[in-house]
Amino acid sequence: MRSFLAQFKLFGIVLVILSAVIIYLFYDALQPKKMLTIYQPSMVNSELVDSTVQFRKKYHTISDFELINQNGDTITQRDYDQKIYIADFFFTTCPTICPIMTKNMADIQRRIKDQGDVMLLSHSVTPQIDSVAQLKKYALEKGVDDSKWNLVTGDKKQIYELARKSYLAVKTDGDGGPYDMIHTENFILVDKEKRIRGFYDGTKSEDVDELMNDLRILKNSYNN
Q: pLDDT by residue (tens digit) across 201-223?
A: 999 999 999 999 999 999 999 98
Q: What is the CATH number of the domain that holds 94?
A: 3.40.30.10
Is the distance from CB of 198 to CB of 211 less than 8 angstroms?
A: yes
Q: Measured on CA atoms in the order 80, 84, 89, 93, is the torsion positive or negative? A: negative
How far apart CA 86 and CA 32 sit, in angstroms, is 26
188 CB-near residues (< 8 Å, 6+ apart): 86, 87, 88, 167, 168, 169, 196, 198, 199, 200
Residues 161, 62 within the same domain: yes
Split at pLDDT 50, 70, 90, the class of 28 is very low
Measured over the CA atoms of residue 121, residue 70, residue 76 and residue 163, the dihedral's sign is positive
Inform me whether the pLDDT recorded for 143 exceeds 80: yes
State pTM to two decimals.
Answer: 0.84
Residue 33: the pLDDT is 65
Instruction: Determine whether the annotation assigns residue 98 to a binding site.
Output: yes
* pLDDT tens by residue, 111-135: 999 999 999 999 999 999 999 999 9
Give pLDDT, residue 179: 73
Are residue 56 and residue 155 in the same domain, yes or no? yes
How many domains is the chain built from? Answer: 2
Q: pLDDT tens for residues 86-110?
A: 999 999 999 999 999 999 999 999 9
Tell me the residue range of the domain where 7 lies.
1-31
Residue 183 known to bind ligand: yes
Q: What is the pLDDT, as a whole number, of residue 34?
A: 74
Is the pLDDT at 199 greater than 60, yes or no?
yes
Residues 153 and 47 in one domain: yes
Of all helices (H) and strands (E), which one includes residue 130? none
Report, as an integer, the average pLDDT of 46-63. Answer: 95
Q: Please, what is the average pLDDT of the chain?
A: 89
The predicted pLDDT at position 204 comes to 97
pLDDT class for 24, splitting at 50, 70, 90? very low
Same-domain pairing of 27 and 138: no
Query: What are the tens digits of pLDDT across the range 153-196?
Result: 999 999 999 999 999 999 876 545 567 788 899 999 999 999 99
β-pair partners for 118: 84
36 occurs within a structural domain: no
Q: Are residues 58 and 141 in the same domain?
A: yes
SS3 219: helix
* Position with higher pLDDT, 8 vs 93: 93
Q: Indicate if 95 and 167 belong to the same structural domain.
A: yes
SS3 state at 2: helix
Residue % of the chain over a pLDDT of 90: 77
* Secondary structure of 3-64 as H, E, C letters: HHHHHHHHHHHHHHHHHHHHHHHHHHHHCCCCCCCCCCHHHCCHHHCCCCCCCCCCCCCCCC
According to the model, what pLDDT value does residue 224 have? 74
